[in-house]
Structure 1
Amino acid sequence: MFESSARARALAEKVSRFILEEVIPYEKDPRNHGHGPTEDLVRELRAKAQAAGLIAPQLSEEWGGHGLSHRETATVFRAAGYSPLGPVAMNVMAPDEGNMHLLERVATAEQKQRFLRPLAAGTVRSAFLMTEPEGGAGSDPSMLKTVATRHGDDWVISGRKWLITGAQGAGIGIIMARTGENATMFLVDMDTPGIRIERILDTIDNSMPGGHAVMNLDEVRVPASQILGEVDQGFKYAQVRLAPARLTHCMRWWGTAKRAHDIAARYACTRHAFGKPLVDHEGVGFMLADNEIDLKQAELMIDWCASVLDQGSLGTAESSMAKVAVSEALFRVADRCVQVLGGMGVTRDTVVEQAFREIRAFRIYDGPSEVHRWSLAKGVKHRYKDSTAGTAKQA
């Protein structure tokens, strides 16, 4: 039903070879540390991807990509995610991938040349500055505290942000700020006066370059020409970015979960205990069977949503369902893999330990499961509340 195109399958095979031969050997590189791969390592990996013709393949040909559909992107991104470094190498990692998607659809021609062109080429990184500390915007964007005020031909932005992925080392930023009762997005160079990183948070995950920063915006002056889209339309544009970004997260981390499963399954087939291979013990074999079920269900959910998105009709509810179902299924897979490996599962001798940490964080990023369930529950109430009286009478 969701068979991908021949070109997507061929590209995914090429990506798989690239990940196995070129990227996985870098996973033990000392430059791949607690706050993500260093800028030097990112440049080295992207040079290899560029040589292989694998930089940002989801983008249109105008921006150096292959012009993939969302369904084709799913096939390719799953292959890229087989190593946590794969999406970084291919320039399809968050937040850059989501920012490129937004710029391609909303930015002016001039803004695309200035901001999208280098981002698409992988020569600079970007950050998306929306989330704020306690009391500000997080899962509820309406709580946005950062303020932008008009000063002649410029806007002046002040506020604080936190959990800003990739800010350290980024050259481009998209700032979300309140403008009256609404919000507006602004494109900035990250060396603009007034933009300051307070600290880099120590987090459970470490796959994204630059880590996650706490930031201070102190009267950051931005010309009106760098407004992304229209004034007061920031909340709308956030959905343009976030709905597909949730899905591409699912695609990438599916690949990582599949890698963890492959490692655990091979281990279970070769490691013996109590007179037979671990896989022949139901307690282990059944966990691997459940992994196969979760991986297939997650794959089908991703492909269905990607196909709907290609038709332009993926709603917020569907993207929420996918985010919850896939992130929790993949975490179950990673958790079982740690268990199957036993003591080795909690070491860094394999990538399984990192897969567990990264996918655990994914259950929170782009909206925790509970927020998505709450949103879905509101939809249930809206659909059924007017029919309760009739149902009661029938009962």
Structure 2
Amino acid sequence: MPETAAAIAARVEAFVREVVVPYERDPRLGAHGPSDALVHELREKARAAGVMTPHIFADGSHLDQRDTATVLKASGLSPLGPVAVNTMAPDEGNMYLLGKVGSPEQKARFLAPLVSGEARSAFFMTEPADEGGAGSDPSMMQTTCRQDGNHWVINGRKAFITGADGAKVGIVMAKSEATDGTGGACMFLVDLPDPAIRIERVLDTIDSSMPGGHAIIAIDNLRVPADQMLGASGEGFKYAQVRLSPARLSHCMRWWGAASRAHEIATAYACKRQAFGKLLVDHEGVGFMLAENLIDLKQAELMIDWCADVLDTGALGTVESSMAKVAVSEALMRVADRCVQVMGGQGVSGDTIVEQVFREIRAFRIYDGPTEVHKWSLAKKIKRDTLARA
């Protein structure tokens, strides 16, 4: 590596604090995320500063997960930081998956523009709940694909597809019902936009940091060349597992940075605001909340590093990432909630990013698997392991 992860993270942090933070009140920030014009402007500045996609190098090599954590936590110090330096979801997870599974031709065509920050991507897996489609349980997938000569034809509907509006690269997950042993989940790389992939609407959601928002999608007779299948037919769930744990953990990394910044803002407020004859921080009710924040932030940081170490052994880390997702998202929610409470009226206003961090982390408790689904999965493992020992 040309420099250590700590040095990369230091440059990313300086860029986020000095260049990105002033954009946090930019009028191009909307309910469905920053506009493409704003994304382009921020990324031009990131390129000039040498911090574009800082965890992936020119030769395609990738920082290990522990070092990625160091860099992504720095990028998350502003909700706009991951957008600016190209460490945001879903692109970060999609780049990781393409790097692991994509063919050389697929990497040149689809991965290169993502790494350069010239294109955004979307991952089409989740489906509408009111139609019984796949959500936290991907085995319920209803989107289908069938082979037609040297093409595959895909039909279905998708929901909560982050960044689909404005994306140039798509990874579409569908189910083949082939009876020759190749049936099952498949993944396809597609160029966007495509007339066969129609955005029905972009949802109004509690979070607002991701470009393009979260869309409901209809896929009508999408024809994809066979050489744009990612990996092998029927192996889609296997590839999803390759992507799942690192992408889940990278969410934890980025939002740790945001919660840390919210804590900085709340602490500064408590150390200058007077009430009842003394600084807020000198009131135990406030000081104790800030102390609890420090504890939760440190425990979350240690959980991230522990899970990263497991992934760096080459293990899938499914169990460990579930544990980390629950522990970190719940801890950061407590941190964000306390920051709002400490700041009172200021905390619920848009004058600082504290209220946005609260909203974003509240959504994070659901995205990439709700807390309850992860606990249920862990409980099944406890039962399975216990019965195996009996």
TM range, smaller chain: over 0.9
Partner of 2:8: 11
CA contact 1:305–1:314 (8 Å) conserved in 2: no
Distance 1:133 1:118 in 2: 30
Q: Does 2:123 align with 1:120?
A: no
Count of paired positions = 382
CA contact 2:52–2:85 (8 Å) conserved in 1: yes
Partner of 2:364: 362
Q: What displacement does 1:386 show?
A: 4.7
Task: Report the RMSD for the aligned CA atoms in angstroms.
Answer: 1.2
Distance 1:191 1:256 in 2: 32
Distance 1:234 1:70 in 2: 23
Give unpaired runs (5+ residues) of structure 2.
Answer: 178-182
Return the letter of the residue paired with 1:200: V
CA distance change for structure 1 residues 6 and 121 in 2, over 3 Å: closer, same or farther?
closer
Distance 1:191 1:290 in 2: 47
Partner of 2:74: 79
Question: Which of 330, 333, 340 is the matching residue for 1:331?
Answer: 333
Distance 2:289 2:99 in 1: 42
Partner of 1:131: 126
Q: What displacement does 1:387 show?
A: 4.8
The farther-off stretch of 314-323 and 128-137 is: 314-323
Partner of 1:32: 29
Partner of 1:384: 386
Partner of 1:392: none
Q: What displacement does 1:385 show?
A: 2.5
Question: Which of 291, 310, 313 is the matching residue for 1:311?
Answer: 313
Distance 1:61 1:194 in 2: 34
Return the letter of the residue paired with 1:272: Q
User: Sequence identity, in percent?
Assistant: 66
Partner of 1:221: 223
Q: Does 2:244 align with 1:242?
A: yes
Partner of 1:203: 205
Alignment of 1:179-198 (within 5 A): 179-180=176-177, 181-198=183-200
Q: Deviations over 1:339-367 (max 9, x none)?
A: 00001111000100000000000000000
Distance 1:313 1:142 in 2: 23
Q: Deviations over 1:39-93 (max 9, x none)?
A: 0000000011111111112224314x7x422111101111110000000000110
Question: Which of 288, 300, 303 is the matching residue for 2:302?
Answer: 300
Question: Which of 65, 71, 76 is the matching residue for 1:70?
Answer: 65
SS in 2 for 1:175: strand
Distance 1:47 1:371 in 2: 39
Q: Deviations over 1:20-46 (max 9, x none)?
A: 110000010000111000000000000
CA distance change for structure 1 residues 230 and 350 in 2, over 3 Å: closer, same or farther?
same
Q: Does 2:158 align with 1:161?
A: yes
Question: Which of 172, 177, 184 is the matching residue for 1:175?
Answer: 172
Distance 2:156 2:234 in 1: 17
Partner of 2:180: none
Distance 1:241 1:315 in 2: 11
Q: Deviations over 1:182-233 (max 9, x none)?
A: 1000000122231100000000000000000000000000010100011110
Give unpaired runs (5+ residues) of structure 1.
Answer: 389-395
Q: Does 2:142 align with 1:145?
A: yes
Q: Does 2:39 align with 1:42?
A: yes
Return the letter of the residue paired with 1:126: S
Q: What displacement does 1:314 show?
A: 4.5
SS in 2 for 1:255: helix
Return the letter of the residue paired with 1:28: R
Distance 2:238 2:264 in 1: 40
SS in 2 for 1:56: coil
The farther-off stretch of 343-352 and 5-14 is: 5-14
Q: What displacement does 1:14 show?
A: 1.0
CA contact 1:167–1:210 (8 Å) conserved in 2: yes
Distance 1:57 1:261 in 2: 25
SS in 1 for 2:379: helix
Partner of 2:58: 61
Distance 1:314 1:174 in 2: 21
CA contact 2:169–2:192 (8 Å) conserved in 1: yes
Distance 2:63 2:239 in 1: 22
Distance 1:179 1:59 in 2: 33
SS in 1 for 2:195: coil
Q: What displacement does 1:240 show?
A: 0.6
Distance 1:55 1:19 in 2: 12
